Amino acid sequence: MAPSTSHASVLLIATILALLLAATPITCWRPWPHLKPNSSDLLYDSSKKFEGSSEFVHLRYHMGPVLTGNITVHTIWYGRWEKSQKKIIREFINSISTVNARPPSVSGWWRTVQLYTDQTGANISHTVQLGQEKNDRFYSHGKSLTRLSIQSVIKSAVTAKSKPLPTNPKNGLYLLLTSDDVYVQDFCGQVCGFHYFTFPSIVGYTLPYAWVGNSEKLCPGVCAYPFSVPKYIPGLKALKSPNGDVGVDGMISVIAHEIAELATNPLVNAWYAGQDPSFPVEIADLCEGIYGTGGGGSYTGQMLLDHDGATYNMNGIRRKFLVQWVWNHFVSYCTGPNALDQ
Ligand SMILES: *[C@@H]1O[C@H](CO)[C@@H](O)[C@H](O)[C@H]1NC(C)=O
Ligand SMILES: *[C@@H]1O[C@H](CO)[C@@H](O)[C@H](O)[C@H]1NC(C)=O
Ligand SMILES: *[C@@H]1O[C@H](CO)[C@@H](O)[C@H](O)[C@H]1NC(C)=O
């Protein structure tokens, strides 16, 4: 039986939607994608210089804009957030541009990002500051978000009747943070966070944004590694997190990853590697799971131990954080402020 016209048009719309979604390059992150269950990688020889170095990585500039003006991060707190959790995240973002933290510092980590330039030779901005915030306490779009409904959450925040977030397509970054009881499409299986830009047809503006989720209840062994570890690896122990909150301490590195990529590739047409622009490999993707000297494969590299037994690799204002390294295109490997050989 031939489908009726209404079925056919529904089918057609579904097909177009599927094509649109499939063609949407979403740039994603997992802390350690390289490790297979029972991998012999666990026995990685840490004396080898690794840190992602590879002659096969061709990170190129594709002529699009990068964020060279003072970067302002507007945060949307979706769901239930404790004051203490917000504080850790705000202090991390404020640490990016501070000059007062003891080395190895978060601002030292940002220095690798600042090496990237646009067509005119202007560097990524030194300044990353907190902008306005919006609370979406009552889950305006439910407890299960898709990539498209995330844009609707951002639209609600910038068009709210009371205290809307300012729209700043040039230097604004929109950071949507979901609480530990919110599921987002592909969360845990493939991604812990991603970044892209909003569509004018949905939001009214083209705004670079990122989503990062609190994985504490859903999959901490995947997205808050190494402060939680997957159960399928026998003998692997979780490390103590620096701020006493496994979910949020795990989010910090994902937030850092996304901010670094948003700064260097905000419209997904600037700095990335790979032949296929719908699957760009960006400056933080190249260094997933690498936190110190010798890192690579499944080895995190050399990190630091705090007096209370917590593991970290850089200092911020008042707090310590564990943050993955980013790709340095001058030396063609991942670099970070706690490198032992600099
Ligand atoms: C991994 O090792 C454990 C115990 O050593 C075993 O029970 C499990 O089946 C192994 N998993 C795979 C995928 O080989
Ligand atoms: C700006 O970029 C150039 C070229 O990449 C680099 O040599 C320089 O050190 C960068 N400046 C800062 C302040 O990072
Ligand atoms: C950018 O930030 C710096 C502080 O890092 C400040 O001195 C400067 O006035 C800011 N520029 C603009 C245009 O807001």
Give the domain ranges of the chain: 29-335
pLDDT, one tens digit per residue, over 219-242 is 999 999 999 998 888 888 999 999
pLDDT, one tens digit per residue, over 132-142 is 999 999 999 99
Residue 235 Cβ inside 6 Å of ligand 1? The answer reads: no
pLDDT computed for residue 338 by the predictor: 96
Residue 38 Cβ inside 6 Å of ligand 1? The answer reads: yes
- Cα 17 to Cα 10, 13, 14, distances in angstroms: 10, 6, 5
Residues in the chain where the model's pLDDT stays below 50: 1-26, 28, 30-49
Helix (H) or strand (E) holding 91: helix 83-95
- Cα 265 to Cα 27, 128, 157, 169, 250, distances in angstroms: 10, 16, 23, 14, 23
pLDDT computed for residue 274 by the predictor: 83
Report the separation in Å between the CA atom of 233 and the middle of ligand 1, taken as the mean of its atom positions: 8
pLDDT computed for residue 342 by the predictor: 60
C-beta of residue 154 within 8 angstroms of C-beta of residue 166: no
Name which of 304, 285, 307 is nearest 105 in CA terms.
304
| Residue 46: both structure tokens together | 């840490």
Question: How many CB atoms lie under 10 A from the CB of residue 207?
Answer: 25
Report the separation in Å between the CA atom of 38 and the middle of ligand 1, taken as the mean of its atom positions: 6
pLDDT computed for residue 88 by the predictor: 98
CA atoms within 13 A on the CB side of 129: 6
